[in-house]
A = this chain, B = another copy of it.
């Protein structure tokens, strides 16, 4: 235990926080999982989009850009026409996949227990009767 630095580890700019922020956005983990599980770590934008139809073009690009910036994917532009852009997991990103997959495994292993819970009393309606 470090008596002098109880919570200093939670500075906004520390590595853990930076990573957590990645996953605080809606699509990061799904894009990461999809890229890895369904595209073997390398896919074009359109292919990813087909695997994740629910994501908007805007958020797909934005999410991938943040991931690129975090060093977990690379972005390669092939100067063809029409242009083709390929996203590939970096070794760093591949190592990040493992814990993410564990979370998915956890969720699936306990889906019964999770389903037994009420839908979600979260977010109360203001004008609710």
Q: Give me the interface of A with B, judged by CB distance under 8 Å.
A: 1, 6-7, 10, 14-16, 18-20, 23-26, 29-30, 38, 50-54, 65-66, 69-71, 92, 95-96, 98-100, 102-104, 106-108, 110-111, 113-115, 117-118, 120-122
Give Cα A86 to B104, complex, Å: 28
Contact between chains at A19 and B107 (CB < 8 Å) = yes
A-B pairs with beta carbons under 8 Å apart, 16 shown? A1-B38, A6-B51, A10-B30, A15-B115, A16-B108, A19-B103, A19-B106, A20-B103, A23-B23, A23-B24, A23-B29, A23-B103, A24-B24, A71-B113, A92-B110, A99-B103
What DSSP secondary structure best describes chain A's contact surface?
Answer: helix
Q: Which of B15, B115, B122 contacts A111 (CB 8 A)?
A: B15
Give Cα A91 to B62, complex, Å: 37
Give Cα A44 to B121, complex, Å: 23
Give Cα A25 to B26, complex, Å: 10
**Nearest-CB distance from A89 to chain B (Å)?**
14
Q: Which of B15, B24, B99, B113 contacts A114 (CB 8 A)?
A: B15
Contact between chains at B53 and A7 (CB < 8 Å) = yes
Q: Which residues of B contact A7 (CB under 8 A)?
A: 51-54
